[in-house]
């Protein structure tokens, strides 16, 4: 049976994070993940995870000065101290929750040293997380939603992973971003599978629930399963209202697989 993780950055985002964890459990999700949980005491989130038996699969490093336009820090030259503080903070939070994946956000940069800066900060992150078995993830963001983001596409991500050379650095393969930037989701996923640490999805192009749009997710989910992937797939879509009202796709999947 295909397993799914609720991304609580978008789903039940109107609720406190511990309550969102419980809502995901009640809806039948197999795991959860989040964006930036740092305003919530980690012990409160851990209690909700313990109550439900769900695992928090991943979280993101802080974006930085969001009102000032930041969307990550680790590829931004001259901000290494801030980037590494964000990595340390994410690691500390992840250790409390038992989370095994951290998305290290690159940020907006066209500086000629952005690539080298990202590589060095990722080496720092991978070294810091290795002892706890924590994997660092990098995610290309599409140019429609995040113009100027320093990590552009899956080829670029594969090059970064090769340059860092750490076993605990993987690709966050977001079908939505890949669909918007590169078009052929399955054509990109198949050869990249050995590099992938987590898979996310949302409708293309509106980033809504996966029951509409340009990508046939019934086919995508079946192909991912056929490739041997058995970890939960991350539902990182924007519900545009009440989350529970958008979960027909999940109920349908469960009914088909029952």
Quick check: 256 pLDDT over 90?
no
Task: Give the max Cα distance, the chain.
Answer: 53
Residues 6+ apart with CB under 8 A from 94: 59, 100, 102, 129, 132, 134
Structural domain that includes position 84:
4-257
Pick the catalytic residue: 33, 44, 139, 182?
139
Whether 139 is a known active-site residue: answer: yes
- The C-alpha angle 29, 33, 36, rounded to 5 degrees, equals 145
pLDDT tens by residue, 173-207:
999 999 999 999 999 999 999 999 999 999 999 99
Structure tokens at 54: 């769900």
Quick check: 258 pLDDT over 80?
no
pLDDT tens by residue, 42-86:
999 999 999 999 999 999 999 999 999 999 999 999 999 999 999
Helices (H) and strands (E) in the chain, counts: 9, 8
Collapsed DSSP state (helix, strand, coil) of residue 174 = strand
Quick check: 36 pLDDT over 80?
yes
Number of domains observed in the structure of the chain: 1
Residues 6+ apart with CB under 8 A from 16: 40
Pick the catalytic residue: 33, 120, 236, 257?
236
pLDDT tens by residue, 116-137:
999 999 999 999 999 999 999 9
H-assigned helices in 36-113: 42-52, 80-97
Whether 120 is a known active-site residue: answer: no
What CATH code is carried by the domain that includes residue 172?
3.20.20.150
């Amino acid at each position: 049976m295909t397993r799914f993780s609720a991304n609580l950055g978008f789903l039940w985002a109107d609720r406190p994070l511990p309550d969102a964890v419980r809502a995901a459990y009640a809806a039948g999700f197999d795991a959860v993940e989040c964006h930036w949980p740092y305003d919530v005491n980690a012990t409160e989130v851990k209690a909700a995870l313990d109550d439900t038996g769900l695992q928090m699969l991943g979280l993101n490093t802080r974006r930085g000065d969001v009102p000032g336009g930041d969307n990550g820090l680790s590829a931004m030259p001259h901000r290494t101290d801030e980037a590494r503080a964000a990595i340390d903070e994410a690691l500390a939070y992840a250790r409390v929750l038992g989370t095994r994946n951290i998305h290290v956000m690159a940020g907006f940069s066209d500086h000629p040293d952005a690539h080298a800066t990202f590589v060095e900060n990722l080496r720092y992150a991978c070294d810091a997380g290795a002892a706890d078995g924590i994997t660092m993830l990098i995610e290309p963001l599409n140019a429609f939603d995040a113009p100027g983001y320093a990590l552009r596409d899956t080829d670029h991500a594969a090059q970064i992973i090769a340059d860092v050379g750490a076993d605990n650095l993987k690709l966050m393969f977001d079908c939505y971003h890949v669909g918007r930037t590169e078009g052929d989701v399955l054509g990109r996923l198949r050869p990249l599978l050995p590099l992938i640490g987590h898979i996310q999805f949302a409708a293309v192009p509106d980033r809504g629930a996966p029951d509409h749009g340009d990508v046939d997710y019934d086919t995508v989910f079946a192909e991912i399963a056929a490739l041997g992937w058995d970890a939960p797939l991350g539902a990182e879509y924007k519900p545009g209202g009440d989350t529970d009202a958008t979960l027909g796709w999940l109920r349908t999947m469960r009914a088909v697989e029952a």
